[in-house]
Amino acid sequence: MNWQSWLFWGVMATLAQATFESITQALHLTRMSLPFMLGTMVTSARSKARLWGFGLHIVSGLLFALPYIVAFHFLGGPSWWRGALFGAVQGTIVLTLGMSLMPNLHPRMATEWAGPSATRRLEPPGFFALNYGAKTPIAVLLSHVIFGTVLGSFCNA
């Protein structure tokens, strides 16, 4: 396994994903900001949450890139279509399982059954993250496909 390639392309794939997510939010296709969501898990200072969240997104992108690289190695090497397929699978898991569990993991997020409070002010994403907009599932799925496509296209497993 090429560790330098994993490190470089893991960061590049995460930056491509984050850029796409920022564009979809700027175009009002979704209200979900992953850096803000991640950042508010570690700080209550909303002004610092995006910075913390961006750092956490880069670290988690590197961690999530590892299974991709291992799978590429054992399945005949990286390719754009294999990366896109893995990204679609990951995006589907995030939308179905990850978003449903988020209120249970996030200390500042309300739940589906208990509304906002003084400490839990963030809206829960709900199933398929639909609470953040009808186009959010498409944006999340495509962002993960972009992540996988970048890894599959450029990373040397």
Q: Where are the domains of the chain?
A: 3-154
- Band (pLDDT 50/70/90 cuts) for residue 93 is very high
Contact 61, 11 (CB under 8 A): yes
* pLDDT tens readout for residues 137-154: 999 999 999 999 999 999
Q: At what angle are helices 46-74 and 136-154 packed, to 10 degrees? A: 50
Report the pLDDT averaged over residues 18-42.
95
User: What pLDDT is attached to residue 151?
Assistant: 97
Contacts of 39 (CB under 8 A, 6+ apart): 48, 49, 50, 51, 52, 53, 54, 56
Whether the pTM exceeds 0.75: the reply is yes
Tell me what the mean pLDDT of segment 88-112 comes to: 92
Q: Tell whether the model's pLDDT for residue 26 goes beyond 70.
A: yes
Residue 150's pLDDT is: 98
With contact defined as beta carbons under 8 Å apart, do 147 and 82 qualify?
no
**115 against 130, higher pLDDT:** 130
Contacts of 44 (CB under 8 A, 6+ apart): 108, 119
